[in-house]
Each structure stands twice: as structure tokens, then as C-alpha cells.
Amino acid sequence: MKTTINQLVRELKEIADSHLQINDFFWGDFGKAASRNDLKYPLMCCYYPNGSMLNNMTPINLIIVIADKIDKGNNEANSNPALGNLTEVESDTLQVVRDVHNVLNKSKRWQSLVRIQSATVNKFIERGQDETAGHYATISLFIKDSTSICNLPMEGYDFEQTTEPETVDIYIDGVLITTVDCGGSYNYITE
């Protein structure tokens, strides 16, 4: 795999740690996160429930949950005290989901890891241990991958074929300059 789930988790946690409106990160479904006592809201919770395999890509559905506690105290901006800050929580969590989507979709850092195919957003209210509300995005993305059997961590397996390293041809202005083996590199210096 060119990009691993472990890399995605580290990158998503880094987004959460950097975003000024996110106080905690959890890798796993929101139900597991919400059962913990040590959460600091607003929370970013991420996981993937499924995926598939294609040539050079591994499509997955990444779920990103942004949740915050509902404060049912007096809220001058809301005429219904029973709702508390629900409108504010919904507004803020939708914006944070949009912020995260923009990072995944537009930053060069993420473009080297994945390609977003589509995204949907839903809001929720959860009346569990903490009464929370927020949004979750289902982002269909393609993790960049490889179909090569070259360099697999295997010994003694007979593929019944020649497993010569795959190569990449390097052309400059239509002229073949060199061929680089799988996993190799080529430095191009312009003058």
C-alpha cells in the first residue's frame, strides 16, 4: 500500500490537534468515543466502516464526526431554553466538518495521499452519557496504492512468473532519459 491507514490516522490527528475549534481526537466510531469519560469537546472522531480494492487505489468510506456538548442553559440567541446552544453547536460543527473536508480535498499534503470522490454531511443529536450534537461526513476517497507484487514481504512463494522489478521510463521533451526500477528514484535538475 502506498498510503496506509496508520498514515491517515496520524494525518487526521494532526488536523484535529491543529484546528482551534477541536479539543480531542478519537480513532473509532462515535459510540465508542462517547462512552469514554475523558473526552474534551468539541471532538473529532474518525473511522472507516468499509472499502474495496481497485487497481492502484483502495476506495474507502471515511467517516468524520465533529461533536460538541449541548448546553441546555439560558441562551440569549435562542428563544427556546430547552434547546440551549443547539443552533450554535450545529453551526460550529458544520463549519469544522467543512474545514476538514477542505484540507483533505485541497491541500497538497493530502493530495499526495488520497483523492476525494464525494462527500455527504448529516447532522445528529445524541442523548447518551453526554448530550451532544454535531455533524458527520461520509467521505468516499481513494487511497493511493499499488498493484505490484514487487517488494511484497514474502519469501519462498512461487508466483509462477518472472517478478522482475517494475520500471518507470523517464522522458524529457519526448526523449527517453533513463529507466528507474520500482522503489527507485530519479533527481531532475533544471538549469
pLDDT tens digits, 51-78: 998 888 899 999 999 999 998 764 455 5
Q: Are the C-beta atoms of residues 134 and 65 closer than 8 Å to each other?
A: yes
Whether 63 is in a domain gets the answer: yes
* CATH assignment at residue 140: 3.30.70.1700
Sign of CA dihedral 35, 50, 2, 161: positive
List C-alpha distances in Å: 117 to 61, 101, 130. 10, 12, 33
The whole domain housing 68 covers 5-144
Residue 100 in domain:
yes
Tens of pLDDT, residues 1-30? 578 899 999 999 999 999 999 999 999 999
27 with 14: CB under 8 angstroms?
Answer: no
**Res. 96: pLDDT tops 90:** yes
Q: CA 82, CA 31: separation in Å to the nearest integer?
A: 24
Amino acid at 175: V
Per-residue pLDDT, 45: 97
DSSP 101-139: HHHHHH-HHHHTTEEEEEEEEEEEEEESSSEEEEEEEEE
Distance spanning both ends of the chain, measured CA to CA: 35
Residue 189 lies in a domain: no
DSSP code per residue over 36-89: -S---SSEEEEEEEEE--BTTEEEEEEEEEEEEE---S--TT-S-TTTTTHHHH
At 114-158, the pLDDT tens digits run 999 999 999 999 887 779 999 999 999 999 887 777 777 888 888
Q: Is residue 85 part of a domain?
A: yes
* Structural domain includes residue 84: yes
Assign 164 a pLDDT band (cuts: 50, 70, 90): low
Q: Is residue 178 part of a domain?
A: no
Q: How many domains does the chain have?
A: 1
Does 104 reside within a domain?
A: yes
Q: How much is the pLDDT for 75?
A: 47
- Domain membership of residue 164 (yes or no) is no
- Compute the C-alpha angle 22/100/43, nearest 5°: 25
